[in-house]
Amino acid sequence: MAISLYKSSVPIFVQFLTALSAVLDKAAAHAEARKIDPSVLLNTRLTPDMFPLLRQVRAATDHAINASGRLAGVDLPTFSNNEATIPELKERIAKTIDFLRGLKAAQIDGAEEKEIKITFPSGATREFTGQSLLLNNSLPNFYFHCTTAYDILRQCGVELGKRDFMGTPVQM
C-alpha cells in the first residue's frame, strides 16, 4: 500500500487554494471596514526584495497548475498575469480550482516516475520525476507562497488565524 499521487496533489491544492480565496475575502472586508484601498494590501511586501501579496497569490496558483497539469500531461490554462484587484485574484484562484477539479485520478496516478523537464524563467532547465516534481519542488513552493500571502495579511492586521490558512480537507 502507498499514497496515491493524485491524492497527494489535486485535493491538497484545492483545499489550500479554497482557503486562500477565503483569506482574500477577509482581506477585502478588512479593507472596506477601515477604508483602506485594497490595492495597498495587494502591494504589501514583507521586505522590498520579496514579492508583494498579489504575486504570492499568482505564484501559488502557478505551482498548483504546473504540477498537476504536468503530471496529467495536459495543456495548462493561462492567465493575463496582470490581476490587480482582489476579485481578479479570486477569479484566478477559481479558474485554477476548476482546472484541478477537471483532472481525474487516472490521469495522474501512474506518473510517479514520469520524466518531466522544466525550463525556468531564468532559462535554466531541470529534470524531475513526477514524484520529485511534486514532493521536492511544487508542494514546498506552493506552501511557501500560501504561507507568505497569509503572513503578509497577518502583518497588515487582518484578523486571521491558523484555521484560515488550513482550510478544510476536500473529498475528491
Binding site for a copy of itself (CB under 8 A): 1-5, 7-8, 12, 15-16, 46-47, 50, 109-110, 112-113, 131-132, 134-137, 139-141, 143-144, 147-148, 150-151, 154-155, 157, 162, 165-166, 169
Residue 145 near residue 57 (C-beta atoms within 8 A):
yes
Cell numbers 496533489 correspond to what residue?
Answer: 9
Q: How far is the CB of 107 from a copy of itself (least distance, A)?
A: 14
Helices 53-72 and 10-33 pack at an angle, to 10 degrees, of 160
Q: Which is nearer to a copy of itself, 82 or 168 (CB)?
A: 168
Q: Which is nearer to a copy of itself, 29 or 50 (CB)?
A: 50
Q: Is residue 44 exposed (0-12), middle (13-18) or buried (19+ Cβ within 10 Å)?
A: middle
Q: How far is the CB of 60 from a copy of itself (least distance, A)?
A: 12
Whole-angstrom distance, CA of residue 169 vs CA of residue 26? 20
Q: Which is nearer to a copy of itself, 91 or 137 (CB)?
A: 137
Residue 69 near residue 130 (C-beta atoms within 8 A):
no
Q: Which is nearer to a copy of itself, 22 or 135 (CB)?
A: 135
Q: How far is the CB of 145 from a copy of itself (least distance, A)?
A: 9
Indicate the helix (H) or strand (E) that contains 146: helix 139-155
Q: How far is the CB of 51 from a copy of itself (least distance, A)?
A: 10
